Amino acid sequence: MSIPAGDATKGAKLFKTRCAQCHTVEAGGANKVGPNLHGLWNRQSGQVAGFSYTDANKNKGVVWEEQTLFDYLENPKKYIPGTKMAFAGFKKPGDRADVIAYLKEATQ
């Protein structure tokens, strides 16, 4: 599936309500229940220093880019069986695209 154009402003709102309780995005941000996402782009899964990943995340070997993140955010447990990420996913393609647009701005 091609990725629709995302709206970073809408993505920021979605991130705040659905993701920020577990993730931070700023440089030097803390790991929480989930890892800090700063520097996410083109990083391999399971690589944030100081975060305790499952073997599933470390061994998946996915490189985070638009398409992989779009696929992952639909259903994290299906994309990486064994992940401890409890989030059920964003089922709407537009919501995933909006969050990705926000992350492109916020994590670089």
Query: pLDDT tens digits for 70-90?
Result: 999 999 999 999 999 989 999
- Residue 61 CA to residue 101 CA, distance in Å, equals 23
Contact at 8 Å (CB) between 45 and 68?
Answer: no
Residues 6+ apart with CB under 8 A from 35: 23, 48, 51, 53
Residue 2 has what pLDDT?
86
- Give the pLDDT of residue 23: 97
